[in-house]
Amino acid sequence: MRVYQFSVLKMVESKVKLHLCNGQCFIWNANDADVLRQEFHCVGSLVGCLPRAPRQNTHLGLPLQLLPEETTLLLEKGVAELVSTADTLFDPNEKLIEEFKAHRKSSYCQQIELFRAERKKEILQNLPKIIEGKRAKRQKMLEEKHEAGETVDKEVNEDEEEFNVDKITIPPVPEHHALVQLYTESPYIVTGQSSPPLWSYPSTDQERLRYSVFKDLWEKGYFITSGSKFGGDFLVYPEFVFSIRAFVLMGLFLVTSAAILKIIHLFVRKENQNISVFAGVIAIGAGL
């Protein structure tokens, strides 16, 4: 039975979670993405908007979409695990809703406290200026009264000049001004038994070919990304750099007469782009 829990706990060391959506794998946790890149030289591609600058296409944010080859590899190595996504939107029970509301409320209260504290700090910092300003205002008021003809007690009440910081009222901030978080990753924890989804890549010969090449290169320590933008299958980078100029465009194909044309094509691309072309020709047969 599944139990949904709303949690504010910190992250616990565990396997990288891969979420399956529409047949493709996504990583929603930034730490996971970082771990994969630094430790397992697995790059993937970011497909979401970056929270700090959502309206541009150069820097993207989470989720991180993995190549199917990457997924299979990570699963094989035991680094990652597939997480089942609920088939339908869960029906939150009363308890969860209460919890959530409480969380929001407490967050709001905390914010108010902090806000007050900061405001106080601000006032303290600017206290001389404030006093100065108040005095000037008083003066002005007295002068106006004098001109108006009222008898004025010119003696300024010293007491009024005393300033009690604590007396400064801070207007109440309504709850809807509170800052809230829009969750990227789901904050709700799923506990309980649930079977992980099936992952059936590679299934065809072509896919197996790709995977075997990918695995081989990965084990040699290269960074591999998708090469469809350049017409090939993979882009292979040496491990230390990630410069645009230093990649290898890979084209994979089974040995046929049509393969010859493909090789020629790849070499032609090479002329334009100053890269070395590695044409991987692998024979069909058993034991790929």
For the CB of residue 227, give the shortest distance to another protein in the complex, in Å.
9
For the CB of residue 263, give the shortest distance to another protein in the complex, in Å.
20
For the CB of residue 38, give the shortest distance to another protein in the complex, in Å.
6
Choosing from 135, 161, 165, 242, the residue that interacts with another protein (CB under 8 A) is 242
| Range 107-136, binding another protein (CB under 8 A) | 107-111, 114-115
Query: What are all long-range contacts of 265-271, with beta carbons under 8 Å and residues at least 24 apart?
Result: 265/231, 266/231, 266/232, 269/230, 269/231, 269/232
For the CB of residue 273, give the shortest distance to another protein in the complex, in Å.
15
Say if residues 100 and 6 touch (Cβ distance below 8 Å). Answer: yes
Nearer to another protein, 79 or 142 (CB): 79
Nearer to another protein, 88 or 164 (CB): 88
Nearer to another protein, 133 or 238 (CB): 238
Half-sphere exposure of 250 (CA within 13 A, CB side): 20
| Range 175-204, binding another protein (CB under 8 A) | 175-189
| Range 68-107, binding another protein (CB under 8 A) | 68, 85-86, 88-89, 91-92, 96-97, 100, 103, 106-107
Say if residues 73 and 27 touch (Cβ distance below 8 Å). Answer: no
Using the rule CB under 8 A, is 49 a contact of another protein? yes
> For residue 94, what are its two tokens?
């009363």
What is the total residue count of the chain?
288
Q: How many CB atoms lie within 10 A of CB 178?
A: 16
Phi, psi of 188 (to 5 degrees): -90, 130
| Range 210-239, binding another protein (CB under 8 A) | 226, 228-229, 238
Q: Is 280 helix (H, G, I), strand (E, B) or coil?
A: strand
For the CB of residue 29, give the shortest distance to another protein in the complex, in Å.
6
